[in-house]
A and B are shown apart, each in its own frame.
Chain A
Amino acid sequence: MRVVQLLKTHAGRVPNPVSEATRQAHARIRGADVAVSVCPYCAVGCSQLIYTKDGRIIDIEGNYESPINGGTLCPKGAATFGLLTSPLRETRVKYRAPYSDHWEERSLDWVMERIAQLVKQTRDATYEETDEHGVPVNRTLGIGHLGGATLDNEENYLIKKLWTAGLGIVAVENQARI
């Protein structure tokens, strides 16, 4: 039996040829640029490393340095690369006219101007300078805003500042209540 065993084990140790591709194999992040990011999903706050080459993201992983995640990620965090590169990701402006049954293409500049005009129109039509007792309220209830918990602090700040302090939009809300 010992001979048989030797034969078998020996068979397993016969080195197979190593191909050129195998010899050349290496991590694709070798030589890549890296940016430190934070996972965009939940509020644990895992630090991520985003590896890029030629202006394209090639990999996103956990950051060992973080006292929170220490290099690890959950499935959502590990899928961040997929979030940025999914085939379903939208990269073009879409516009739907009233009562239309389809999307239309529009330029970013066109929709920005159209939105500015609509904001002004709705705001002007619904603006309240004072309440029924003559107290200055300087607001509009005609426009609302949702979102913020997935955005950045600076973005929340600009939202609150422009909408509320600049335009008098008071119905500004985010997922904190959801």
Chain B
Amino acid sequence: MPGLGARLGRGGATTTQQSLADSDCIVIMGSNMAENHPVGFRFVLKAKTRGATIIHVDPRFSRTSALADIHVPLRPGTDLAVLGGIINYVLNSERWNSDPFFKEYVTHYTNAPLIVGEEFKDTEELEGLFSGYDPGRRRYNTDSWQFASQPATSAQRQQPQAGSEPERHATGQTGEEGQAVTGNYGSALSHQAEEAEQDHGQTAEPYSAQVVPHAPPLVDMTLQHPRCVFQIVKRHFARYTPELVEQISGVPRDLLITVAETLLQNSGRDRTSAFCYAVAWTQHTIGTQIISCCALLQLLLGNIGRPGGGILALRGHATIQGSTDIPTLYNLLPGYLPMPSTQAGHRSLREYLAAEQSPTGMWFNMPRFMVSLLKAWYGDAATPENDFAYDLLPKISGDYSFEAMIPMMADGVMKGLFCLGQNPAVGGQNAVLVRKALANLDWLVVRDAYEIETAAFWYDSPEVRRGELRPEQIKTEVFFLPAALPGEKEGSFTNTQRLVQWHDKAVEPPGDCRSEPWFLYHLGKRLKELYQDDDTPKGRQIRALTWDYPTKGRYDEPDLEAVLEEINGFTVADGKPVKSFRELADDGSTACGCWIYSGIMPEKGYNRARNRKGDDKAALDWGFSWPNNVRILYNRASADPQGRPWSERKRWIWWDAEQGRWTGYDVPDFPANKPPDYRPPEGARGLDAHAGDKPFVMLPDGRGRLFVPSGLLDGPLPTHYEPWESPVGNLLYPKTPRSPVAPLFERPDNPYHEIGDPRFPYVITTYRLTEHHTAGGMSRTVPWLAELQPEGFVEISPELAAELGIANGDWVVVSTLRGEAEARALVSDRIQPLVIHGRKVHQIGMPWHFGYKGYAQGGIANNLSALIEDPNSRIHEAKSFTCNLRKGRIAREGERPL
């Protein structure tokens, strides 16, 4: 989600599924929504029934396309070129330039009027690179991407470059907003010093004093200055003409114009358009920039923060949003605090905060969030004297993302692995290497409801079946612990629209099945005991950890509402839950496990995730939506700069001058009593530094970012680069065909195909089906789902089938330099060859669910994919790479597929 985080402030869907019903145009791109989120799609159909136009941009004609008005086929991996083409058309269109709405939205709510420093050079000038590129390190120095500012006053010392904080931005800044920090903007205006004291404390908050606001930036409200963001954006995308976009993507030029025109006609004061995307945007080496490009377009069209507008990120797993908010991710701490890193100079708490705290905007509060987290984790061992035990928190100094872990295991650096509800033997990229890596572990713990491929790899896998590996050669000690499933345990999921919902327990789990909390809690207890006499740092670390939760039930399950209470935060002295993150302090008097979830349990026994009354317009009493129960993010933008609804039809929240507060259908994602005409006094910090017409509370200046001066590793503006494996070069920038900063894993067991490699002439894309769930552990094992899609298949066009003499239902083998997979051919018009760079390029599609366990089986698509990442999100590229295809089998006739 860094794409959304970098431009808008938070790495989360900006809108709700229900709000799609209020859309006038919905573009589904990078998602097959009808198939993968069928229930969410009902809101698309509601909009459709009310007359909205539905556009599906996708390489395949899918069940989503079947319900759309327009299907736009494109070559996988060229989404950014298509979006760039739309932006170029929009900026030069008559409607955009004649309807004052667009310029009003853009000048007030985005950084379009800001002037960029003279040193900045765009890709237009450097043949596909931005200024600051270091080819040796394959990295950018972002110094030249900064805004020009007014001369600094003596009080304003130079701040650490935002570019030195890649971790936070790279994973998507996010967080809570909510109400005014001080609660009173009148006094903030007239008694600035007093307010600062009241707000940030004077004695007990030593950390907040470190930051001083930047000098104000130079702006040109006419948007005419040649170095203003607006003009830079316009020049940057000028190259994305319909003709060139057609050459790159295969999208006919008139179709591109139709899409752009439809969006324009359905954006404005009275109309809104929404985008829905999913992992078909993230899984590219430029995935973050594809998403950020969409955010840029939606800002230009004035669609962010408004009902029926926004960007709906569609997640695949029940709490994939939650597992990013409360991250089981190596580079994040809960609430999108960056994980301390030696590379980012986080050697001490002071250095950490100096690098990460922002003088203005929400992140001014970072010390409160961080200190409260340390108090939650290390309790009494965290004191002001020892910097709240910051040293006990481990530090990262490299990439330990999922992809990086695979070589670590294969090379013997990582010796033990826990898999709790994940199936890397099927779901991991370069799955051949994954299984080799598993075989090199000393021990492996798999907790799942079914014996998934990852648990069985030592006696069953394509390698074992082919005789290349035998159990007697594999040293790994393997533990399979059966897991309890929802229904057999309680807890909360955070859905695709940031909505936290609690699920109750219905029955006890069967046999040895236990919940993850049971496993973790009791394992933690045992480990604490094993280390009780160890006074070295590793002993002190585990001993300092607070690990006392009340237990209940037949199996001594930890009480998860007690865990949720810790996540919510409480005052240390009396254990009373905090009502909001505003009560958190940086003096150790509060503890909080994840500040953006503060308010979910505002009092003991009141679990708002368990709220189940959803009959008002925004369903505010159904679950708890972070931040602060806001449903549509940045909803200050649903009103005009003066605080009035843009139109009657699109009203959502607005300024009530009589009551002196924002009101409407939703919780304002804005200080509730900050008037639209509020202007910050000089030296204001935190949210006080944002004017009353700046909706993007997370960002330092409150403006949505058309231009991102820091936080994205591959440039301040989205640029199309070809997938790492592509049949063609980059027509936009021939000298920079591929992402110049994509992290590579160059090793003999992870070879890449060169551009245009004749041995691998076809473009392959991988995807899910309605009937299955991800790596199949929860669906290929369920009879009713297995029978619907019982066997792996590859979708190919009739044209390619004819060329290769393949009939529908024939066995085929797909191959790359990483591996092979066999499957049945499903020949269909729904797949089509496209004309790219003047020649016909065939594409094939392969669902990646299948494996060798469960009822439904089939060749593993990830045997084909490679370890290669997006630099920002460290997400792999499985939506577009190259392959070969032949008729035939790997397994012998009658055998199960490999």
> Scoring B residues 433 to 453 as 1 if CB is less than 8 Å from chain A, else 0, what string do you get?
000000000110101111100
> Scoring A residues 40 to 68 as 1 if CB is less than 8 Å from chain B, else 0, what string do you get?
11111111101010011100100001111
> Does B44 reach chain A (CB closer than 8 Å)?
no
Binds A, one of B117-125, B261-269, B410-418, B578-586: B410-418
The contact of B420 among A119, A151, A178, by CB within 8 Å, is A151
> Does B173 reach chain A (CB closer than 8 Å)?
no
> Scoring A residues 149 to 171 as 1 if CB is less than 8 Å from chain B, else 0, what string do you get?
11111111111111111111111
Report if A38-B393 is in contact (Cβ < 8 Å); known contacts: A83-B782, A146-B418, A161-B377: no
> Does A137 reach chain B (CB closer than 8 Å)?
yes
User: Which A residues are closer than 8 A to B by beta carbons?
Assistant: 33, 35-48, 50, 52, 55-57, 60, 65-69, 72-80, 82-84, 86-103, 108, 111-120, 122-127, 129, 131, 133, 135-178
Cβ–Cβ < 8 Å partners of B479 in chain A: 93-96, 111, 114-115
Nearest Cβ in chain B — how far from A71, in angstroms? Answer: 10
Q: Flag if B477 contacts A178 (CB, 8 Å).
A: no
Cβ–Cβ < 8 Å partners of A35 in chain B: 487, 504-506
Cβ–Cβ < 8 Å partners of A99 in chain B: 471-475
Report if A72-B414 is in contact (Cβ < 8 Å); known contacts: A166-B547, A168-B538: no
Q: Which residue of B lies closest to A166 (CB)?
A: B545
Cβ–Cβ < 8 Å partners of B519 in chain A: 112
> Does B328 reach chain A (CB closer than 8 Å)?
yes
Report if A116-B523 is in contact (Cβ < 8 Å); known contacts: A35-B505, A65-B612, A172-B330: yes
Known: A133-B342, A140-B394. 10 other contacts (CB 8 A): A67-B18, A76-B779, A78-B784, A83-B449, A99-B471, A99-B475, A145-B328, A162-B520, A171-B405, A175-B317
Nearest Cβ in chain B — how far from A166, in angstroms? Answer: 4
Q: Flag if B401 contacts A151 (CB, 8 Å).
A: no
Cβ–Cβ < 8 Å partners of B339 in chain A: 170
Q: Flag if A177 contacts B512 (CB, 8 Å).
A: no
> Does B419 reach chain A (CB closer than 8 Å)?
yes
Q: Flag if A170 contacts B396 (CB, 8 Å).
A: yes
The contact of B451 among A55, A90, A151, by CB within 8 Å, is A90
Report how far A74 CA is from B503 CA in the complex, Å: 18
> Does B718 reach chain A (CB closer than 8 Å)?
no
Q: Flag if A153 contacts B319 (CB, 8 Å).
A: yes
Report if A91-B513 is in contact (Cβ < 8 Å); known contacts: A84-B487, A171-B408: yes
> Does B622 reach chain A (CB closer than 8 Å)?
yes
Q: Flag if A148 contacts B342 (CB, 8 Å).
A: no
Q: Flag if B773 contacts A76 (CB, 8 Å).
A: yes
Q: Which residue of A lies closest to B515 (CB)?
A: A155
Q: Flag if A37 contacts B503 (CB, 8 Å).
A: yes
Q: Flag if B516 contacts A159 (CB, 8 Å).
A: yes
Nearest Cβ in chain A — how far from B316, in angstroms? Answer: 6
Q: Flag if A101 contacts B459 (CB, 8 Å).
A: yes
Cβ–Cβ < 8 Å partners of A36 in chain B: 503-504, 612
Report how far A154 CA is from B334 CA in the complex, Å: 12
Binds A, one of B177-185, B491-499, B880-888: B491-499
> Does B660 reach chain A (CB closer than 8 Å)?
no
Contact-residue bracket for chain B: 35 or more
> Does B91 reach chain A (CB closer than 8 Å)?
no
Report how far A107 CA is from B2 CA in the complex, Å: 44
Q: Flag if B402 contacts A43 (CB, 8 Å).
A: no
Q: Flag if B567 contacts A153 (CB, 8 Å).
A: yes
> Does B371 reach chain A (CB closer than 8 Å)?
no
Q: Which residue of B lies closest to A124 (CB)?
A: B538
Q: Flag if A40 contacts B537 (CB, 8 Å).
A: no
Q: Flag if A40 contacts B507 (CB, 8 Å).
A: no
Q: Flag if A57 contacts B487 (CB, 8 Å).
A: yes
Q: Which residue of A lies closest to B395 (CB)?
A: A137
Q: Which residue of B lies closest to A120 (CB)?
A: B530
Report if A45-B495 is in contact (Cβ < 8 Å); known contacts: A147-B418, A160-B326: yes
Report if A157-B326 is in contact (Cβ < 8 Å); known contacts: A57-B487, A89-B450, A162-B520: yes
Report if A120-B527 is in contact (Cβ < 8 Å); known contacts: A43-B316, A155-B491, A174-B328: yes
Find residues 311-329 in chain B having any chain A CB closer than 8 Å to their own CB.
314-329
Q: Which residue of B lies closest to A159 (CB)?
A: B328
> Does B478 reach chain A (CB closer than 8 Å)?
yes
Report how far A55 CA is from B507 CA in the complex, Å: 6
Report how far A122 CA is from B415 CA in the complex, Å: 7
Q: Which residue of B lies closest to A63 (CB)?
A: B612
> Does B817 reach chain A (CB closer than 8 Å)?
no
Q: Flag if B397 contacts A137 (CB, 8 Å).
A: yes
Q: Flag if A166 contacts B542 (CB, 8 Å).
A: yes
Cβ–Cβ < 8 Å partners of B473 in chain A: 99
Cβ–Cβ < 8 Å partners of B854 in chain A: 88
Report if A39-B318 is in contact (Cβ < 8 Å); known contacts: A162-B547, A178-B402: yes
> Scoring B residues 17 to 30 as 1 if CB is less than 8 Å from chain A, else 0, what string do you get?
11000000000000
Cβ–Cβ < 8 Å partners of A108 in chain B: 481, 512, 514
Write 25 A-B pairs (CB below 8 A) sorted by A numbering: A38-B495, A41-B773, A43-B314, A45-B493, A57-B507, A67-B615, A86-B781, A88-B855, A92-B512, A93-B482, A99-B472, A103-B480, A108-B481, A118-B443, A131-B395, A136-B395, A137-B394, A141-B408, A149-B317, A154-B567, A158-B516, A160-B328, A165-B545, A174-B422, A177-B401
Cβ–Cβ < 8 Å partners of A89 in chain B: 449-450, 482, 510, 781
The contact of A177 among B329, B497, B504, B779, by CB within 8 Å, is B329
Q: Flag if B424 contacts A142 (CB, 8 Å).
A: no
Report if A156-B327 is in contact (Cβ < 8 Å); known contacts: A115-B523, A168-B541: yes
Q: Flag if B403 contacts A43 (CB, 8 Å).
A: no
| Residue of A80, A137, A168 with most partner-chain B CB within 10 A | A137
Q: Flag if B622 contacts A82 (CB, 8 Å).
A: no
Report if A176-B784 is in contact (Cβ < 8 Å); known contacts: A122-B443, A144-B405: no
Report if A154-B545 is in contact (Cβ < 8 Å); known contacts: A38-B503, A118-B477: no
Find residues 103-158 in chain B having any chain A CB closer than 8 Å to their own CB.
none
